[in-house]
Amino acid sequence: MTALTVAIAAGWVFLLPSRPDAQPLAFNHARHQALTCAGCHRGVETSARATLPGPEVCAKCHASAPKGIDAGQWSNLQRTAVNWVKVTRVPDHAMFSHQRHVTIARLDCSSCHGDIGQRTTPVGRPPIRLEMKTCLACHRREGASEDCAACHR
């Protein structure tokens, strides 16, 4: 009976999906479809890393509090960084460059980020599981290098 309990507990911990991370704002990507990803996420086209937008990016379009955010919260957000929870992570042993994938390979953001532009609720989980088989499938489909040293440190 104890072994069965341990097996069920292990399955519960390792097999079931984890609870989604909570984001600090109820951001609606679908409502912002008129913008490009690079318009808010700096570095998408020009560097290895893309940024998560800070209040200065939002303030370019929003002079006053956007719908769903009270004026006090908006005022606080304009003075401090938004503590977005990063949900898509590349393992430390892998090298990834947004510029190489977006600008040079001309891949659409949805290749790795799924239907993010259609989302009406904040992202709490990676939309696509980034693991070697996912990356290799794309590299094969796009005719990109499969040389281990091209992506691994």
Q: What is the pLDDT of residues 109-137, one digit of tens each?
A: 999 998 999 999 988 888 888 889 999 99
- d(CA 30, CA 70) in angstroms, rounded, equals 21
User: Is 19's pLDDT higher than 70?
Assistant: no
User: Is 27's pLDDT higher than 70?
Assistant: yes
Q: Are 20 and 121 in contact (CB under 8 A)?
A: no
User: Is 141's pLDDT higher than 50?
Assistant: yes
- Reported as a pLDDT band with limits 50, 70 and 90, residue 16 is very low
Query: ∠ at Cα 12 (14, 116), nearest 5°?
Result: 60
Higher per-residue confidence, 22 vs 15: 22
How much of the chain, in percent, has pLDDT values that exceed 90? 42
Each domain of the chain, given as residue ranges in start order, spans 20-151
pLDDT digits 0-9 by tens, 66-116: 877 888 888 887 788 788 888 888 888 999 999 999 999 999 999 999 899
Tell me the average pLDDT of the chain: 84
The alpha-helical segments, DSSP class H, found in 88-128 are 98-99, 110-113
**pLDDT score for 133:** 93
